[in-house]
Amino acid sequence: MIIERAEVIVTSPNRNFVTLRLQTDEGHVGLGDATLNGRELSVVSYLKDHVVPLLIGKDAHRIEDTWQFLYRSAYWRRGPVTMAAIGAVDMALWDIKGKAAGMPVYQLLGGASRTGLMAYGHASGVDLQALFDSIREHRELGYRSVRVQTGVPGLKAIYGIAAQSVIDGGLERYDHEPARRGAYPAEEDWDTRSYLHHLPTVFEAVRSEFGPDLPLLHDGHHRMTPIQAAKLGKSLEPYDLFWLEDCTPAENQDALRLVRQHTTTPLAIGEIFNTVWDFQTLISEQLIDYVRAASTHFGGISPLKKVMDFAAQYQIKSGCHGPTDISPVGFAAQLHVGLAIHNFGIQEYMQHGERTNATFQQSMTFENGLLHPGDNPGLGVDLDVDEAGKYPYEQAYLPFNRLADGTVHDW
């Protein structure tokens, strides 16, 4: 089965998505997600200029060989642009293999290890009242666990509080994400001291309102030093978090060793990691509890399965990154992995907007708090190319942070 055609499709139904569409001589179509939030066109170029020409004429069944060829033959390794491009090829080839076999991808990965994947949603609010309302809304939507993010007194705008923005003249959520359309990133503010004082009071209030059973998560979004993160982990111990995510910037992995020495709050990291090797120390030294890798930014399904098998030896579980800037294709890819592996932990699920769901038809279901990728052959996602054509790319950036004295801080 030969790859005959390869196209890169950019569409912005609610936000920008980059999709690789491969077609074989036997008529099978495979989709791969190559969306890199805020840097989308760099992956389009990497694919169109450097990858697509190498794919035409290749055997579509040779997933591992194609992955290794794209990874090793470039000489320059890793990085989000390269790995998103390779990830899209990998997903598209798994999609094709599933369709050729007449099976959903999870069957090819070993079959289902559970009935569905526990999902958590993003509850947030500028203050406690808004946060409580958001937690209730999420429970009504069927979520059995939630991430908790709130405003911090004295700070105007911070990460993780669902915002609204104007699209086509109407007020609509911009796919629940903080990226903003425009030519320059929005500026937010930050003060770690205020945050460290405030956050334990938020979790205390949430626990007293909602009781001890609801699994609660929190994303530190890379903004603390190791000792600050250790202090936060310790101060949150009475509230029994499911995990504390990205407590320190991802570059310095030694930081996690220090945090680990001080707290039993479970740690999750890796949404901006690109390869299995980025997790080598964190997994083998048991410095984390959950692997946050996303199929899209991690080189696809093949390496995600490998890192999770490695993690399984240390009782470390999955917690794949599932924001709306992962397209329905990338999201489906990690649902298939999550359903198949033994060491599944939890799946982040933010939910795409209506136009996104109309552009990408999905066999996925969300029932009783559990996600399932569906049983359509392949990944179970179809891209409506005409619909996609209605929504051209729009420049959008993630925000950045400045401290009160003007210093740029991690966002």
Q: Is 398 in the site for ligand EZ4 (CB under 6 A)?
A: yes
Q: Which of 46, 106, 143, 159 is catalytic?
A: 159
Q: CA 299, 109, 376: angle at the middle one, nearest 5?
A: 95
For ligand EZ4, the closer of residues 56 and 141 by Cβ is 141
Question: For strand 396-397 and strand 29-33, is the pairing parallel, antiparallel, or unpaired?
Answer: unpaired
Residues 215 to 254 in contact with ligand EZ4, rule: CB under 6 A: 219, 221
- The one of ligand EZ4, Co ion, none whose footprint includes residue 325, by CB under 5 to 8 A per kind, is ligand EZ4
d(CA 211, CA 209): 6
| Known active-site residue 159 | yes
Per CB under 6 A, which region of 113-121, 184-192, 277-285, 320-328 contacts ligand EZ4?
Answer: 320-328
Interface mask toward ligand EZ4 for 12-51; x: CB under 6 A: -------------------------x--------------
* Integer Cα distance of 176 and 15 in angstroms: 10
Angstrom CA distances, 265 to 149, 193, 194, 242, 259, stand at: 17, 20, 20, 8, 10
- Tally of CB atoms within 10 A around 169: 6
Nearer to ligand EZ4, 353 or 378 (CB): 353
Site for Co ion contains 325 (CB under 5 A): no
Strands 165-167, 408-409: parallel, antiparallel or unpaired by DSSP? unpaired
| 239 catalytic residue (yes or no) | no
Element (DSSP H or E) covering residue 109 = none
Residue 46's SS3 state is helix
- Binding of residue 163 to ligand EZ4 (CB under 6 A): no
Of the candidates 221, 297, 321, 372, the residue annotated as catalytic is: 221
Nearer to ligand EZ4, 67 or 188 (CB): 188
Q: Quick check: helix, strand or coil at residue 23? A: strand
Strands 17-24 and 29-33: antiparallel
Rounded distance between C-alpha atoms, residue 138 and residue 136, angstroms:
5
Question: For ligand EZ4, which is the closer residue by CB, 54 or 163?
Answer: 163
Those residues whose C-beta lies under 8 Å from the C-beta of residue 405, and which sit 6 or more positions away, are: none
- Residue choice 191, 219, 289, 325 for contact with Co ion (CB under 5 A): 219
Using the rule CB under 5 A, is 348 a contact of Co ion?
no
Nearer to Co ion, 90 or 271 (CB): 271
Indicate which residues carry an active-site annotation: 159, 221
What is the contact surface with ligand EZ4 in residues (CB under 6 A)?
37, 219, 221, 271, 321, 323, 325, 398
What is the contact surface with Co ion in residues (CB under 5 A)?
219, 271
